[in-house]
Amino acid sequence: MSDSTRTLRVQQKSWEAAGVTAITLVDPTGADLPGWEPGAHLALHLPNGMVREYSLCSDPVDRRRWTVAVLRKPDSRGGSSHIHDALPVGSLLEVDGPRNAFALEETAAQHILVAGGIGITPIIAMVRSLERRERPWRLLYTGRSRSTMAFLDEIAKLPAGRVTVHADDESDGRYPDIAGLLADLPPTALVYCCGPEPLMDACGAALADPSRLRLERFKAPEPVAATTPDDEFDVVIATTGQRVRVGATTSVLDALNAAGIAVASSCTEGICGTCEVAVVKGDIDHRDFVLSSAEQESGTTMLPCVSRCRSAELVLDL
Are 233 and 312 spatial neighbours (Cβ–Cβ below 8 Å)? yes
Quote the CA–CA distance of 146 and 155 in Å, as a whole number.
12
CA distance 84 to 81: 5
Q: What is the DSSP string of 145-170?
A: -GGG-TTHHHHHTSPTTSEEEEEGGG
The model's pTM: 0.83
Tell me the longest C-alpha to C-alpha distance in the chain.
Answer: 63
In total, the chain counts a number of residues equal to 318
Per-residue pLDDT of the chain (318 residues; tens, 9 = 90+): 455 889 999 999 999 999 999 999 999 999 999 999 999 999 999 999 888 899 999 999 999 999 999 999 877 667 899 999 999 999 999 999 999 989 999 889 999 999 999 999 999 999 999 999 999 999 999 999 999 999 999 999 999 899 999 999 998 888 899 999 999 899 899 999 999 999 999 999 999 898 899 999 877 676 666 667 899 999 999 999 999 999 999 999 999 999 999 898 878 888 888 899 999 999 999 999 888 888 899 999 999 999 999 999 999 999
What is the CB-side half-sphere exposure of residue 144 using CA atoms within 13 A?
Answer: 7
